[in-house]
Amino acid sequence: MRSSLARLLPVLTAVTLLTGCLTIEENYTFKKDGSGTMEYVVDMSELGEMLKSLEAMSDGKGGEEGPGDMDMKDQATKLKGLPGIGKVKVKNREKYVQVLSFRFKDLTALNGALNVLMPDSTGAAHEFFRWEGSTLVRTNNAHALEMGDDMGGGAATDSTDPTAILQSMHYKYSFTFAEAIRDRQVAEGVVQDSPQPRQLKLDADWSVIMKDPSALDLRITLDK
């Protein structure tokens, strides 16, 4: 996300100071053999024409080029070259919502893909997922925290309290497993929903992430 949106961060920051509307989603399915699929969703639909207009003013360009055309094609190209990654696709769900999806062979392949999608300023490879017996463990690098800083959430200014803006920006997880979920451990402030025994959906707004850098870390224990 940080790399795919680098050229638009000044524009995006200006818009979020007005609207704060941004949602990132990570949607996973895991099979019994450890393989699965992942969707990475960038949703700026609520920014609409305001975002497009601000970008046009920032670079002096108009026409059809704009944030609605912002994509993750570079990331998709890199993913296609990774071992254990296949069926890489990028599509626009609607004008300001883009989805990058792929299949992964195992957690090693998945971690490699996530390092492409969600690098932080250290440039170091991170182990996002690992299995501890029947428990799936997720830890994070500084990617989401640095995004919050980029959006002006690192500290309040004399005239702007970023809390309301950060609360309107969301980071969501969705997990679907082959087995039922027995237990889960998530950070305080993260909203949980289990529509089915094999599913878990989590939602954290960016104010939670900025207060607790480990807010997106989790543990999910399966009944197997």
Distances (CA, A) of 9 to 56, 151, 187, 210: 14, 8, 28, 18
Whether residue 20 contacts residue 168, with contact meaning beta carbons closer than 8 Å, is answered with yes
Question: Residue 154 above 60 pLDDT?
Answer: no
What per-residue confidence (pLDDT) applies to 22? 85
Res. 156 pLDDT band, cuts 50 70 90: very low
pLDDT at 66: 43
The arithmetic mean of pLDDT across residues 41-59, rounded, is 68
Stronger pLDDT, 132 or 45, i.e. the higher one: 132
pLDDT at residue 153, as a whole number: 57
Q: What is the DSSP letter of 140?
A: -
Residue 38 has pLDDT above 70, yes or no: yes
Q: What is the pTM of this model?
A: 0.83
Q: Using CA atoms, how far apart are residues 163 and 207, in angstroms rounded to an integer?
A: 6
pLDDT band at 50 (very low <50, low <70, confident <90, very high): low
Q: What is the mean pLDDT of the chain?
A: 84
Phi, psi of 54 (to 5 degrees): -65, -40
* Model pLDDT for residues 82-118, shown as the tens digit of each residue: 999 999 999 988 878 999 999 999 999 999 999 999 9
Query: What distance in Å separates the CA atoms of residue 209 and residue 216, rounded to the nearest whole number?
Result: 7
Asked whether residue 67 carries a pLDDT value surpassing 50, the answer given is no
